[in-house]
A and B are shown apart, each in its own frame.
Chain A
Amino acid sequence: MDVSRMNPIVAPPLRRSGFFADIVAGLRSLLQGMGITFRYFSHPSTVVTQQYPENRATLKMFDRYRMRLSLPHDENGFHKCTACRICEQACPNGSINVVSRKGAVTGKTELDRYIWRMDSCTFCNACVMACPFSCLKMNGDFECSVFDKSLLVFNLTRYAGPTSTVLMKVENPEERRKLWEPRDVYSGPLPLRGTELPGGGKTLGKPEEPARSET
């Protein structure tokens, strides 16, 4: 508990000398400051500006940069999500809503829609960390501005159906096709569980919106 262990170093006092000495010292300090700014002015190489819309081709986010949540689909177009809702529980602000369904053929719980509210997401990575099958990913796509905030409610799945492991066990493509139904990646603004969006968001669209096309 001795203070000496703190190794305190004490601030130097600001001294004043005479009238003229102060003027001279003051002017000198001002000139030194001007020297620094002028060095930057006269060296255009010190400009550090990145010109964003112009540098879009070369702009690369860091791999770990967390912005847009995605549910990666493999080369066959299938994901690994089992609709276990662990991410939904891990989310601190209710931004994730996993809509599951009973599989028409298998009879087991499978993912119908994976709804993610970007408007309230804090990109804290809790869902990605919590996912036991590591089927979620946050990527660095930051260009997500919209004119209407209900566009910020995303559906991440391209199809409603079981995971890729289950699907790939089925050898016959026709048989496999029966197991899943296509879903829009972004199937319009979806109210969470049919309730209004907090914040006066209008209830837009219906949860059972018709599927648009084949994925």
Chain B
Amino acid sequence: MSAIVTTLEQRIGRGATTQEFFVNMGPQHPSTHGVLRLVLKLEGETVKDVIPVLGYVHRGVEKMGEHLSYRQFVHLTDRLDYLSALANNWAVAKAVEKAAGIETNERIETIRTLVAELQRIASHQLWWGVFGMDLGAFTPFLYGFRDRERITDILEETIGARLTMNYIQPGGVMFDLHPDFQRKVKEFIAYFRPKLEEYETLLSRNIIAQERMRGVGVLEAAQAVALGATGPVLRASGVAHDLRKSEPYGVYGKVEFDVPVGARGDCWDRYWVRIEEIRQSLRIIEQLIENIPEGKHLLVKPAVRTKVPEGITYSQVETARGVFGVLLVSDGKDVPYRIHVRTPNFNNLWAITRIAPGWRVADLVTMISSLDIVVPDIDR
């Protein structure tokens, strides 16, 4: 048996009858969240088949990683899943620290946990707004962003960037927390809790939104696991898999929080899981913000090009979208021999091929949105 290489035309060409037609959704389409291209086989409004076509923002990050030092590679991970830039940085930092045997202190880990959780909230806020927009309600988008700007401000004050942070470095964090950080975070929590209730009223309890989400795009637990889906997508299917609990990193082992899981795996469950995750993240922040331990914020000199002993290291963190893993292959030099990033969206995306057939175009949009896809993260 030899391997057969196919083309897109052959893939599309399978079993089209006269009633069905193909449409290209993307690369430029408002609801593909970037430049994802979906080739849809439609029968009227009903989706028969979805063929995702990737690579419209494939930037060859893994190749570049073979030429950059470990510290330099961190800034490229910002640009993968730019909504979880800090968690991505953390994954690289964690891998390098593990491989090179760099010990961090309590303060560094607490800062990392705090900013990562803040960004998780920001990411979910953005998702909530965009989800509303994909359902046709424009206002949630602006409310989500209005509240996200508050977090952006907090992070900007400490980190100095709004989106691509490059903050968490191997061996520490770039800057110490800003003196105003604790006060502002507390203010934000007090501000945001009532707003979260508004989110619920505006969209979660809205009958139209509920009808659009109820039972749409059911992803069975077994399917989700076999597809390697992670994060809220997997949890909404009822599998309580959260790296923050199952293999705690940072200071997640010391804080109390719950893992929201779905019951059926439809769009509503994915929606609810994310909204609930915002609450849990607020809980985590509340527990940590009071006593941040003292210590140095950076233990490795920034100009040092860290050398990593020979071997393979795989480290992963839980971003807002799922498990972001870094496979680091070192041959003992100060640049990696090979660096592979396992991005959550790559696996999550393929769920669409399983859950979309049989639903309408409008549901497809809901489903893509409920998977919360960031395209550069898929393409890398």
Contacts and interface: CB of A to CB of B under 8 A. Distances in A.
Interface of A: 1, 3, 5-14, 22, 25-27, 29-30, 32-33, 35-37, 48, 62, 64-66, 86, 90-92, 122-126, 129-130, 132, 138
Contacts of A91: 72
Contact of B303 (A5, A27, A130): A130
A7 B207 CA distance: 30
Contacts of A1: 246
Contact of A33 (B149, B164, B201, B276): B201
B72 A32 contact: no
A126 B242 contact: no
Interface string B226-244: 0000000000101010100
A10 B71 contact: no
Contacts, number: 123
20 contacts: A3-B240, A6-B258, A7-B258, A9-B258, A9-B259, A10-B260, A11-B263, A13-B264, A14-B214, A30-B207, A32-B205, A33-B201, A33-B205, A33-B206, A36-B201, A65-B161, A90-B72, A123-B161, A124-B166, A126-B71
Interface in B153-178: 156-161, 164, 166, 174-175, 178
Contact of B159 (A8, A25, A32, A64): A64
A22 B211 CA distance: 11
Contacts of A86: 303
Interface stretch (B265-273, B337-345, B365-373): B265-273
Given A11-B261, A92-B68, A138-B160, A130 B207 contact: no
A90 B305 CA distance: 9
B272 A11 contact: yes
A11 B236 contact: yes
Contacts of A6: 240, 242, 245-246, 258-259
Contact of B178 (A5, A8, A11, A64): A64
Nearest to A50: B149
A3 B261 CA distance: 12
Contacts of A10: 238, 260-263
Contacts of A32: 201, 205
Contacts of B174: 125, 129
A13 B263 contact: yes
A17 to B, nearest CB: 12
Contact of A8 (B139, B207, B210, B258): B258
A15 B366 CA distance: 20
Nearest to A49: B146
Interface in B175-216: 175, 178, 198, 201-203, 205-208, 210, 213-214
A27 B272 CA distance: 22
